[in-house]
Amino acid sequence: NDVIDGACVDLRHRDHQIIQGIMVAADNGLDRLGDAAGGEPEKLARLGAAYSKMAVKGKASMEELNIFLEAGVPLIGALAQHFGIAESAVFAFSQQGRIAFTDVDAAIKDLTTGSGLLAGQMAAMADTASGKWSTLKDNFVLGAQQMGMGMLPPIKVAIDDILADLDQALEQAAS
């Protein structure tokens, strides 16, 4: 039981850390991650997960940095510029545990604000034909969900009436 209790405490602690990381990501600007992802939802999900993981740990590993690289985000170059070192030295910094989450956050901010390479990418994507189509689909789905939620009370009443009628029919059949 002590082992199970300990495992439960560990899981709750880990879940709490993950939630804190997600909250940090939200507080520090999902819009910047959206720009880094070029407005692409799948990339944003991957980047958000890596960003949250770094926020929870307080530092970056090559695993998380590679997620950004695979998504086309030139984070190694931005970190090199942030530290004032060559890009090749960033890999050594990562292996030595010298890249803090705050360094990654600053590098992403440099890339996605002002005249940064990825600044405004989410808005640019939203302004394309496919971006507008995506917005239209999203708005349609949200509208349908809201209308559906409005229909739940009368549907529930109708179901309750049908169940009451069935109960009454079963009682009559049994007697």
8 has pLDDT over 90: no
**Rg of the chain in Å (alpha carbons):** 25
Tracing tokens 């899981």 back to the chain, one arrives at: 11
Q: Which of 66-70, 132-136, 147-151 has the highest mean pLDDT?
A: 66-70
Least confident of 3-17, 89-103, 118-132, 146-160: 3-17
Degrees, nearest 5: CA angle 94-117-130: 115
d(CA 101, CA 107): 10
d(CA 34, CA 48): 9
Average pLDDT, the chain: 80
Per-residue model confidence (pLDDT) at position 117: 77
CB 36 within 8 A of CB 71: yes
CB 118 within 8 A of CB 35: yes
Higher pLDDT, 34 or 138: 34
Helix axes 2-27, 41-57, angle to 10 degrees: 120
Tell me the whole-structure pTM to 2 decimals.
Answer: 0.59
d(CA 163, CA 170): 10
Mean pLDDT of 41-45: 86
Higher pLDDT, 8 or 34: 34
